[in-house]
């Protein structure tokens, strides 16, 4: 079963399209056991109200991929959730292949990659590993921060048609051509979600970060075409993370 199918099943089972982003501020070395315990507690609390968990460098750097992070991935799986590694793969193909091998070995069901680096000797090795192991690859389409317009929003010339189009539009086309399992588009840019959805349709689901803390609105992102909402600080830093996750899962439309 493909990653797209598995995350859809998890979404139906949990009646939620929320992906929990376990993002925490920097902590000192002596506090890292506390950091792991906090991440485990929050994951346990919100697991009934989310369909997947996304882990970034916020945890892989202090806890280690095959240490605390692998334990969190195992915990997510035990709760019926999928695990996404937000490593934003962005190197040459040989390096990307090694990155993918390690993260998939740690148990991640999918990873996020940057289409800027291209296909040949770029992301092709990642997709090859993912296909062999039946894992997923999610591409960046348009990020949620203000500076995204400088890269993802720049105008480019389509080499096949000569058409001048936004970079994010070109990335959406690549997601179709490369058979990606998802595309990340910030909830802070609903107009970009709408445009990218016009290319992807229902073939490639949109994952939308930036809800809450960055100013994105869940219902606006969903109406524009987002299938999954990636939510971090709005849940993790809430007084009651479980209640916040439950509220978001019920009021996304």
Question: Which whole number is the average pLDDT over 228-252?
Answer: 89
Active-site annotation, residues? 88
3-state secondary structure of 69: helix
Question: Which whole number is the average pLDDT over 75-100?
Answer: 97
Tell how strand 155-157 and strand 164-166 pair up: antiparallel
Domains of the chain, first to last: 3-250 (3.20.20.70)
211 vs 207, more confident = 207
* Residues 6+ positions from 149 with CB-CB distance below 8 Å: none
pLDDT for 253 beyond 90: no
pLDDT for 131 beyond 60: yes
| pLDDT for position 229 | 96
pLDDT for 213 beyond 80: no
Residue for token digits 């203000």? Answer: 146
pLDDT band at 1 (very low <50, low <70, confident <90, very high): confident
| pLDDT for position 44 | 97
Burial of 232 (0-12, 13-18, 19+ CB in 10 A): buried
Structure-token pair, residue 22: 């376990």
User: Mean of the per-residue pLDDT values for the chain?
Assistant: 94
pLDDT for 146 beyond 70: yes
pLDDT tens digit string along 97-128?
A: 999 999 999 999 999 999 999 999 999 999 99
In 3D space, the residue among 53, 52, 70, 57 whose CA is nearest the CA of residue 106 turns out to be: 70
248 vs 17, more confident = 17
| pLDDT for position 16 | 96
pLDDT for 252 beyond 60: no
- How many CA atoms lie within 13 Å of 225's alpha carbon, on the beta-carbon side? 23
Burial of 155 (0-12, 13-18, 19+ CB in 10 A): exposed
């Amino acid at each position: 079963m493909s990653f797209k199918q598995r995350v859809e099943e998890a979404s139906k089972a949990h009646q939620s399209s929320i992906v929990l982003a376990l993002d925490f501020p920097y902590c000192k070395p002596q506090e890292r056991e506390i950091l792991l315990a906090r991440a485990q507690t929050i994951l346990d609390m919100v697991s009934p109200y989310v369909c997947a968990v996304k882990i970034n460098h916020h945890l892989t750097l202090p806890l280690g991929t095959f240490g605390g992070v692998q334990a969190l991935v195992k915990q997510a799986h035990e709760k019926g959730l999928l695990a996404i590694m937000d490593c934003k793969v962005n190197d040459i193909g040989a390096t990307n292949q090694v990155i993918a091998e390690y993260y998939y070995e740690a148990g991640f069901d999918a990873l996020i990659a940057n289409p800027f680096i291209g296909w040949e000797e770029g992301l092709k090795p990642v997709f090859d590993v993912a296909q062999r192991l039946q894992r997923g690859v999610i591409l960046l389409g348009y990020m949620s921060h203000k500076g995204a317009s400088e890269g993802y929003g720049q105008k480019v010339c389509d080499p096949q048609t000569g058409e001048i189009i936004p970079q994010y539009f070109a990335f959406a086309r690549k997601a179709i051509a490369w058979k990606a399992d998802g595309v990340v588009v910030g909830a802070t840019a609903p107009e970009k979600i709408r445009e990218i959805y016009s290319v992807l349709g229902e073939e490639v689901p949109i994952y939308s970060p930036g809800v809450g803390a960055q100013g994105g609105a869940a219902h606006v992102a969903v109406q524009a075409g987002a299938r999954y909402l990636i939510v971090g600080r709005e849940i993790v830093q809430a007084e009651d993370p479980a209640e916040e996750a439950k509220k978001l899962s019920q009021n996304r439309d």
